[in-house]
Amino acid sequence: MNTKTKQLLNIASMTFWSMFASYTFVGILIVFFTMPVAQDGLGMDDHDAYLMYGVVQAMGYILPVVGGYLADKVLGVRRAMNIGACLLAFGYLILVVATDAFKNNMREAFLLAYALVPIGSSLYTGTASALIGRIYEGDEHGAKRGMTVYYVMINIGSMLGIGLAPYLLHSSMGPMSIFLVAFAGKFIAWLNFALRGKLYRDVLFGKDSQAIGRRDIGLLVGYFAAAYAVTCFLFSQPGLSFYLIGTCIAVTLVFYVRKTLTLQGVSRSKQLMSIYLLLAVFVFFVLYTQMNTSLILFTKNNSNHELLGFTLYPASFQLINPIAIILIGSFISKVYKRFPGFNIPYQFSAGLLLGAFGIFLLYASGFSEHNGLVNGDYIGLSYLTLTISELLISAIGLSMISLYCDMEMMAFAMGVFYLVVSLSNLVSGKLSGLVALPEKKLAPELTLPIYTHYYLELAVATLVCGALFMVVSKTLMKRFHAQGIALP
């Protein structure tokens, strides 16, 4: 086994444990937010829960932009990855301790403790995928294979986490069992990397090859303090946070575009194309976030909870996503090789069109309703269709960054990818407010039209975006071909 394969497998192992922990937690987050306080939930109404989910997830994606910059300019990618994984593990440990010690103030204790998690994530999320890009620098097929393996491991971990989470949530320990499993997974992930750091001695770029100085340590500590204070404030004001975070993201994206315009020649053209492709990433993740938010509550409130004759917890329908990714992801790279003309811009366009169809299925499920409850098989088929869309956009999106972006800006570019995902989560949380049900319990016959009308509008909007993206992509590809620029 060569060194690159060993490096990839180590990152894959670390990714598995980290994602197992994350998805055990995220898979039930919207349910936990809306659970009554008497059941150790946070007792939020639907509207507040959607907004809080959007802000929490947005912070988990927005800080990697700063983390990516610190990895490039201060710490080095490998060192940032190690520190970030360590912080994530102990952030979840503090979450366990805080929520157990302050049960009478569960919401405040949870938010203050969980504010530590995005800080650790900021140094780990973008750098893990950036490290794969550096391992396979100049190797197009290797980069795609590496990112596909990385993405499949994400989904093996998420499959087990999502499958376990509902049962833990309804166990005698309730949410505390979720927090404990999340800590254990993150701790194992950190040990996986910390104990095998020497494996990456041949992957040295910039700050990785230099000792860290006092000034660097001071910058890091200052970042931790500022990021924690800002995150705590944003968590406490989710309504205001939508506008504050949105503004911050817009400013950072403008900065990234300006940095891109300073590049020359082919590097500039390819990185500008990557920025265009990030528009599709944004639209897709608005849809993707529905799977973890409105779709779970739709399944809970307006479905028969049955999939192919089996009764499931509402949150368990999410299992279709990682299972399908594992099965389809294992051979999709062969499909790309078989159809070399079906390159990334066309893959993204097809992904948006499939996503529109997946959301339309939720609207169509209304025709199967009985007493306001729809057939759960429609929901299962929607998850499957959205998963295929995800494989065409999200998994390839990571390799797109490594293939299209300038190597000197790689970690920052990966951070920008997650920044766009952050904006999608934020917008999705706001949009989901359109299906926020009142606190007073309504009959399923009354809530069903609220959901189906929302999904129809979302499907039509995405269909229009996908069609436009296909036309524009075809035009751009012709121009690149005329200039002699080959795009994978």
pTM exceeds cut of 0.85: no
* CA geometry: angle 382, 385, 387, nearest 5 deg: 105
**Per-residue pLDDT band at 356 (split at 50, 70, 90):** very high
User: CA-CA distance, 462 to 33, in Å (whole number)?
Assistant: 28
Most confident of 2-6, 249-253, 476-480: 249-253
What mean pLDDT is predicted for residues 281-295? Answer: 89
Question: Which one, of 346, 444, 435, 432, lies nearest residue 393 by Cα?
Answer: 346
What does the pLDDT read at residue 205?
62
Residue 209 makes CB contacts below 8 A (sequence gap 6+) with 76
Asked if residue 359 has pLDDT above 80, the reply is: yes
Question: Which one, of 401, 404, 427, 403, lies nearest residue 415 by Cα?
Answer: 401
Q: pLDDT of 169-195, one tens digit each?
A: 888 888 888 888 888 888 888 888 888
**Per-residue pLDDT band at 454 (split at 50, 70, 90):** very high
Cβ neighbour number for residue 224 with a 10 Å cutoff: 17
Phi, psi (degrees; rounded to nearest 5) at 419: -65, -40
What mean pLDDT is predicted for residues 217-231? Answer: 89
Over pLDDT 90: what percentage of the chain? 15
Q: pLDDT of 54-113, one tens digit each?
A: 888 888 877 877 877 787 777 777 788 888 888 888 888 888 888 877 777 888 888 888
Computed over every residue of the chain, the mean pLDDT equals: 83
- The alpha carbon dihedral of 315, 85, 228, 409 has a sign of negative
Residues 301/449, Cβ–Cβ less than 8 Å = no
Over pLDDT 70: what percentage of the chain? 89
**Encoded tokens for 487:** 């795009």
The more confidently predicted of residues 343 and 286 is 286
What does the pLDDT read at residue 340?
65
Q: pLDDT of 386-435, one tens digit each?
A: 988 988 887 677 677 777 777 777 767 777 887 888 889 888 888 888 88
Most confident of 318-322, 345-349, 357-361: 357-361
Asked if residue 255 has pLDDT above 80, the reply is: yes
Strand 306-307 versus strand 310-311 pairing type: antiparallel
What mean pLDDT is predicted for residues 119-144? Answer: 72
User: CA-CA distance, 381 to 402, in Å (whole number)?
Assistant: 32
Asked if residue 437 has pLDDT above 90, the reply is: no
- Amino acid letter, residue 441: K
User: CA-CA distance, 433 to 245, in Å (whole number)?
Assistant: 18
- Say what angle helices 444-482 and 344-364 make with each other, to 10 degrees: 170
